Amino acid sequence: MRVINFDEIKLEKQEIIDDITEGKIFVYPTDTIYGIGCNAQDAVAVSEIRKIKSRAQNPFSVIAPSVKWIKENCVVEKEAEAWLKKLPGPYTLIFKLKKDCVAKQVNPGLNTLGVRIPKHWIKDIVAAADVPIITTSVNKSGEDYMTSLENIDSEINGSVDFVLYEGEKNGKPSRIVDLTGKAKLINR
């Protein structure tokens, strides 16, 4: 596993974007915690993240490349517009899907998708890649999530292609807002 610090990220931005679009699995910082992800349209890579996390069925969320992408692929009711205006931010918004826009392994059997746009520079990488990426905490299902390289699970460490690292993060996961009916905040 290669660790790429912030200065290297700036120098290698295009290579990182290419690796993401090609389906590499990587760890990255957000405005909340570290996430593990891949191109959400790559079924093989998404399935690999399911194995890494020991998470068979629960849906994954994605970081969307833009609000425009969300509007093109998700049903955005009038009351959801106010939530879209809060992006980028520490929210995962759940929408009904208009069409297939991610691999079936992202949200098995569901016609909904959780989407984020973090208030963090990672959103610029995702926007440049122009593909949604999986966003889920860096941990085995049910275990503590990664806050620094010192506490990344050794199996996860050996299963990712690279880590975009900016030091310790002590945030908490994003707040989930279900916008598939009457908007409701789901507390974590």
pLDDT for 183 equals: 56
Name the 3-class secondary structure at 87: coil
- For 179, residues 6+ apart whose C-beta sits below 8 A from its C-beta are 76, 77, 79, 80, 83, 93, 94, 95
More confident site: 155 or 162: 162
Confidence band for 188, pLDDT divided at 50, 70 and 90: very low
The DSSP H or E segment spanning 45 is: helix 43-53
What digits encode the pLDDT tens for the residues 82-115?
Answer: 999 999 999 999 999 999 999 999 999 999 999 9
pTM score of the predicted model: 0.93
Which residue from 56, 89, 71, 85 is spatially nearest to 174, judged by alpha carbons?
Answer: 89
pLDDT for 184 equals: 60
Q: Residue 187 pLDDT more than 60? A: no
Of the chain, the percentage scoring pLDDT greater than 90 comes to 82
Q: Mean pLDDT in the chain? A: 93
In one letter, which amino acid is 39? Answer: N
* CATH superfamily name and code, 2-186: DHBP synthase (3.90.870.10)
> Would you list the domain boundaries of the chain?
2-186
Do 180 and 32 form a contact (C-beta atoms < 8 A)? no
Q: What average pLDDT does range 40-69 have in this prediction? A: 94
Q: Residue 186 pLDDT more than 80? A: no
CA 177 to chain CA centroid, nearest Å = 15
- How wide is the angle at C-alpha 152 spanned by C-alphas 10 and 62, nearest 5°? 60
Q: What average pLDDT does range 68-86 have in this prediction? A: 94
